[in-house]
Amino acid sequence: MHEYSVTESILQIACEQAGKIPEAKRVTDIKIQLGQLVGFSEDSIRFFWQILSQGTTCEGANLHFEHVPAELHCMTCDQAFAIPDELIACPSCSGIRVRIVRGNEFLLESIEVET
């Protein structure tokens, strides 16, 4: 149920930022970066959003997810590689010493406000 608390945080940030715009009527769209390795369910975030945003300036806002694929860098052979659905060893050398280059993002990238 981590999605509940992260959805709550997204709502808090979006409402706070919209509140800084005196002529803001409501938040219409929210763009979120969601990395492959984060493990959050887009469907669960959408579900909790419908419940938590009721009665706020974000009620009815559309959530847009940018899915960021995972990319790792092998520390043994210096190769970068994408992964399928789960973590794997380096396909070049089978090394397991890797650094995450991308795919662990969870960012509220932007909000659009109706004025």
Which range (4-13, 57-66, 77-86) has the least confidence? 77-86
Domain regions of the chain by residue span: 2-114
For residues 93-102, give the mean pLDDT. 93
The H or E element spanning position 45 is helix 42-52
- Asked if 46 contacts 63 with a C-beta cutoff of 8 angstroms, the reply is yes
Tell me what the pLDDT averaged over the chain comes to: 94
- pTM equals 0.85
- Asked if 48 contacts 7 with a C-beta cutoff of 8 angstroms, the reply is yes
* Residue 28 pLDDT exceeds 80: yes
2-114: CATH, from 1.25.40.10, 3.60.20.10, 3.40.50.300, 3.30.2320.80: 3.30.2320.80
- Asked if 48 contacts 3 with a C-beta cutoff of 8 angstroms, the reply is yes
What's the distance, Cα to Cα, between the start and end of the chain in Å?
Answer: 34
Over the stretch 45-69, which tens digit does the pLDDT of each residue have?
Answer: 999 999 999 999 999 999 999 999 9
Q: Partners of 111 in the beta sheet?
A: 30
Model confidence band, residue 30 (pLDDT cutoffs 50, 70, 90): very high
Q: How many CB atoms lie within 10 A of CB 77?
A: 14
Q: Which of 31, 30, 33, 34 is nearest to 15 (CA)?
A: 30
